[in-house]
Amino acid sequence: MSASGGVPGSEAAGTTGKTVGLARQDWSRAYVVEFIGTFAIVFAGCGAIAVGKLPNTGVSAVFGLIVAVMIYALGHVGDAHFNPAVSVGFAIGRHFPWTRVVTFSAVQIAGAVAGALALRVILGPAVPLGMTTPAGSDLQSLAMETVLTFFLMLVITAVATDCRAVGEAAAIAIGSAVTLGALLGGPVSGASMNPARSLGPALVSGDLSHIWVYLAGPMLGSILAALVYRWLRVGEQDETRPPVS
Helix, coil or strand: residue 166: coil
Q: Judge whether residue 193 has pLDDT over 60.
A: yes
Residue 25 pLDDT level (bands cut at 50, 70, 90): low
**Arithmetic mean of pLDDT, 32-54:** 96
| 222 vs 58: CA distance, rounded Å | 26
Nearest C-alpha neighbor of 145 from the set 78, 200, 84, 194: 194
Helices (DSSP H) in the chain: which residue ranges? 27-41, 47-51, 56-74, 84-92, 101-123, 138-161, 170-189, 195-205, 211-232
Q: Under a CB-based contact definition with an 8 Å cutoff, are residues 183 and 148 in contact?
A: no
Q: Under a CB-based contact definition with an 8 Å cutoff, are residues 140 and 188 in contact?
A: yes
| 193 vs 218: CA distance, rounded Å | 5
Q: Judge whether residue 239 has pLDDT over 60.
A: no
Burial class (CB in 10 A: 0-12, 13-18, 19+), 217: buried
Q: Which amino acid is at 162?
A: D
Burial class (CB in 10 A: 0-12, 13-18, 19+), 192: buried
Q: Judge whether residue 98 has pLDDT over 80.
A: yes
Burial class (CB in 10 A: 0-12, 13-18, 19+), 238: exposed
Q: Which amino acid is at 177?
A: A
Q: Judge whether residue 241 has pLDDT over 60.
A: no
Residue 60 pLDDT level (bands cut at 50, 70, 90): very high
Residue 160 pLDDT level (bands cut at 50, 70, 90): confident
Domains of the chain: 27-231 (1.20.1080.10)
pTM comes to: 0.86
